[in-house]
Amino acid sequence: MDETLKDLINSRFQAVHHRQLMVISGDERWCLQETDKILTHLTETLPSELKIITCGVQSSMPWADQQTTNQQFRQYLGQEFDWLIYNAWQGTRANALAALSGTLKQNGLMVLLCPDFKFWPEYNDPYLKHRISYAQLANMHTSQFIHHLINQIRCTADTIVRTPDGLQGSNAVLDQAQIHLEDKARQQRQVIAGIKKVVTGHRKRPLVITADRGRGKTAALGIAAAELIEERQCRVLITAPQKSAVETLFKHARQHNEAVLPQLQFVAVDDLMLNQHEMDLVIVDEAAAIPVELLKKLTHRYPRIVFSTTIHGYEGSGRGFEIRFSPWLKQHRPGSNFTQLTSPFRWQNDDCLEKFWWQTLQLKALPVKVLPSLTDPTDIQVRFYSGEALTKQPELLNCVFSLLVEAHYQTTPDDFMTLLDAPEQRVILAFAGSARAENLLGALCGNLEGKLTETALQQGVIKGQRRVQGHMLAQQLALGLGQSQYLNFQYFRIIRIAVNPLHRRCGVGQAMLNELARWASDQQIDYLGSSFGASDPLLLFWQKNHFYPVLTGFHRDKATAEFNLTVLKTLRSSDNGSKLRQAQQNNLDQLLRFHARQCFQSLDNALLIRLLQACPPDQIRLTLNGETLALCRLFCDGNRSLELSTPHLVRLLNALISQQIAFNAHISLLTDLLLKQLPHKTLLTEHQLSGKNALHKALKASVAWGIEVLESAS
């Protein structure tokens, strides 16, 4: 073993150091041999056991006790390790790099094994097939992300680099003045006290906790919950987008006192909304991953509630939570309290490894810039960019990804990697004036998809037996509509569209979409499309830009807790295109009506009505003659039962929908009764009615209103 390297390794355990990155670059066999020498030396010389995790390293060596892959890394989150060995020869994934680096504790070293820097960007990465769309691998010649990563390694003074030519870099030693253990403990105790005060203090005073990853936020939640149960026999409910997101919370509660676990319960967000639970406190973890409308409903429903979220991290960003939910909370719950954990708990301030990955993967969102007001849409300049062009303008790249991180909580390091590398991806940017980073208004990212003409592939997709990487729109439409012809078309799928929050509703998104449509038409693309967690305002935005809904999911998305909605815009007009659109929307109309009483009972009524109004009316179903209106009037007069009147009331509601009547409380009540067929008990709760008589009175008022509106319209 090289003596200089041996001295560097030995000295890491003779003092306190920042976590750091060590890069071992060269032939894969040589990289693994060097790693084996280092870790064998450590296991032989250190008096205590060294906890090591590897990713992409298959080894039977005694030091290789925890082994994971780019697909399975999440199972180790929340654990702590002394060393991490990441073998980029077996594939590079940005999410895994960011997440696994967070498992290292103070003094830890992250060892990155990679090809020689001269050849690494052209290396045929085994993980490419998981992040580059099917049939696009042949167009992938060099990785701009790897170029960017190498540049960061070379420019960062605290990175250690080992090659066959020698060793560069040194350990980053911490002196005692830089270690603030008391500050960390004091900050965490203050947060724990704040959580407990939500229970002991006045009602309707939520607490919001924000923190970067590694700040001890989840540990504080678990300890506070355990202490509340211990001291006051409280019933504490935990919710999050997924149960796996709170495993660490339960671990800390168990470590504090295992006896509290029976009174600490996880409840899914949907369950919290639909059913009444006996509890003293609700804790919402990773709140940024829950739609704002659901957070508002939780706030109204539960008077003692804590919201906690990560600001930046490998899962995505919480900036959308800060911008959209926090102001609403301050307005509707003036007594709300806001606190932030700033000191790292598992490492020290200015940690070398954290700074490296934040900078390399653009995990730190920039402050929102105030740009000149947009009084004229022609002031907006729209430009197309490739990943390579963005890497040559690092300031612009930072601004672009920061905007995406801010606007979409699901934007992750993997998305950054794809932004730079994927041959099928296009980036469209909007500027206030000249195309400079400081003038950036908006960003749109999307993929070229479709043209899947292979017979065997088409048959596999239609039968639901095969799914290829990327090409989401083509496969979704072919499977959902049961027609292989949708695989033949070419699509541009809009994945992300983000606008500076201070310049929304100024035509920025529309300008980018218009320029995209012009470019796509020139490229002979058949459809523009997008798929997203549906809400009524979001659907309205797409409709204003001439997109129409074609498919919806039947279950809430795990990440957004919303129903996925697919929208299209036809670019190549023809008789066949018009027939396809009509068939697509007829299919959507039938699915919505058939599943309204089952799958879509929790779908927002305003959204459901807007979707139905977007579909072409069925003339047979909309037949509304004088006899039908007369029978509806009999119901209003109290001479005809609801059971006998229901078929005629359904026709009345269909006619209201077809007339594009603006959504209101009357339509909402009729939708819940006639389309969703909600139980009477649920109707009373949803519409805040006191009992059966109040419900019937409200129904008669809604029917009478509907009759009056339709007669006025005719």
How far is 701 from 697, CA to CA, in rounded Å? Answer: 6
Helix (H, G, I), strand (E, B) or coil at 608: helix
Residues 189 and 145 reside in one and the same domain: no
The pLDDT score that the predictor gives to residue 642 is: 92
Q: What is the mean pLDDT of the chain?
A: 89
In the prediction, which pLDDT does 408 show? 74
Where is average pLDDT lowest: 238-242, 245-249, 513-517?
245-249
Q: Are residues 191 and 252 in the same domain?
A: yes
Taking only the tens place, the pLDDT of each residue in 623-682 is 678 888 999 999 998 878 999 999 999 999 999 998 899 999 999 999 999 999 999 999
pLDDT at 244 over 70: yes
582-587 long-range contacts, CB within 8 A, separation 24+: 582/616, 583/481, 584/477, 584/481, 584/550, 584/551, 585/548, 585/549, 585/550, 585/614, 585/615, 585/616, 586/615, 586/616, 586/618, 587/480, 587/481, 587/550
User: Rounded to whole angstroms, how far apart are CA atoms 124 and 120?
Assistant: 9
Same domain, 46 and 117: yes
Between 501 and 253, the more confident residue is: 253
Q: Give the count of domains, the chain.
A: 3
- With a cut of 60, say whether residue 556 has pLDDT above it: yes
Instruction: Report residue 237 as tokens.
Output: 């409910």
Alpha carbon distances (Å) from 88 to 82, 84, 663: 19, 12, 54
Q: Answer yes or no: do 187 and 51 share one domain.
A: no
3-state DSSP percent of the chain in helix, strand and coil, to 5 = 50, 20, 35
Specify the pLDDT at position 60: 62
- pLDDT reported for residue 61: 64
Does the residue 694 lie in any domain? yes
Is pLDDT larger for residue 130 or for residue 619? 130
Whether residue 106 sits in one domain with residue 239: no
Per the CB < 8 A criterion, the answer to whether 93 and 414 are in contact is yes
Which residue type does 676 have?
Answer: K
The domain boundary residue, chosen from 147, 169, 191:
169
Q: Give, in order, the Cα–Cα distances in Å from 82 to each of 54, 106, 108, 487.
A: 11, 8, 5, 49
Q: Are 158 and 292 members of one domain?
A: no
* Residue 643 domain flag: yes
Mean pLDDT of 438-453: 94
Residue 558 has pLDDT above 60, yes or no: no
For the chain, state the CA radius of gyration.
29
Q: Which of 276, 332, 271, 337 is nearest to 301 (CA)?
A: 276
The three-class DSSP label of residue 481 is helix
How far is 310 from 288, CA to CA, in rounded Å?
8
Q: Is residue 252 part of a domain?
A: yes
Q: Is 82 within the bounds of a domain?
A: yes
Query: Does 133 lie in the same domain as 269?
Result: no
**What whole-number percentage of the chain has pLDDT above 90?**
60
Asked whether residue 366 is assigned to any structural domain, the reply reads no
pLDDT band at residue 94 using 50, 70 and 90 as cut-offs:
very high
- In percent, how much of the chain has pLDDT > 70? 92
Range in 56-60, 84-88, 482-486, 545-549 with the lowest mean pLDDT: 56-60
As a whole number, mean pLDDT of residues 46-61 equals: 78
Beta bridge partners of 569: 528
Residue 287 has a pLDDT of 87
Going by C-alpha positions, the residue among 247, 213, 261, 569 that lies closest to residue 361 is 213
pLDDT in tens, 125-165: 999 888 899 988 888 889 999 999 999 999 999 999 999 99
Give the CA dihedral 309, 312, 318, 319, nearest 10 degrees.
140
Q: Residue 189 corresponds to which tokens in the numbers above?
A: 């105790």
* 135, two tokens: 């049939």
Determine contact, residues 431/369, Cβ cutoff 8 Å.
no
Say how far residue 662 (Cα) sits from the centre of its chain. 31
Closest listed residue to residue 308, CA positions, set 218, 216, 371? 218
Q: Is residue 579 part of a domain?
A: no
Q: Is the dihedral of CA 505, 508, 512, 517 positive or negative?
A: positive
Q: What is the pLDDT of residues 193-237, one digit of tens each?
A: 999 999 999 999 999 999 887 788 888 999 999 999 999 999 999
What is the tens place of the pLDDT at every residue in 5-18? 999 988 888 888 89
pLDDT value for 198 = 96
User: Residues 336, 188: one domain?
Assistant: yes
Strand partners, 580: none
pLDDT at 28 over 70: yes
Q: How confident is the model at residue 559 (pLDDT cuts 50, 70, 90)?
A: low
Pick the last residue of a domain from 169, 203, 227: 169
Domain span including residue 646: 626-713
Same domain, 272 and 305: yes
Question: Three-state DSSP class for 504?
Answer: coil
Task: Quote the CA–CA distance of 469 and 476 in Å, as a whole number.
Answer: 12
* Same domain (yes/no): 245, 118: no
Q: Are 62 and 41 in contact (CB under 8 A)?
A: no
Same domain, 27 and 144: yes
CATH number, residue 38: 3.40.50.11040
Q: What is the CATH number of the domain that holds 320?
A: 3.40.50.300
Could you tell me the end-to-end alpha-carbon distance of the chain, in angstroms, rounded to an integer? 91
| Phi, psi for 439 (deg, rounded to 5) | -105, 10
- State yes or no: pLDDT of 319 exceeds 60: no
DSSP string across 34-99:
HHHHHHHHHHHH-SSPPPEEEES----STT--EEE-TTTGGGGTT--EEEEEEEGGG---HHHHHH
Same domain, 165 and 249: no
Query: Which sign does the torsion angle of CA 633, 638, 644, 646 carry?
Result: positive
Q: Which of 139, 169, 199 is the last residue of a domain?
A: 169
430 within some domain: no
Helix (H, G, I), strand (E, B) or coil at 309: strand
Residue 438 domain-assigned (yes or no): no
| pLDDT at residue 338, as a whole number | 95
Task: State the average pLDDT over residues 285-291.
Answer: 82
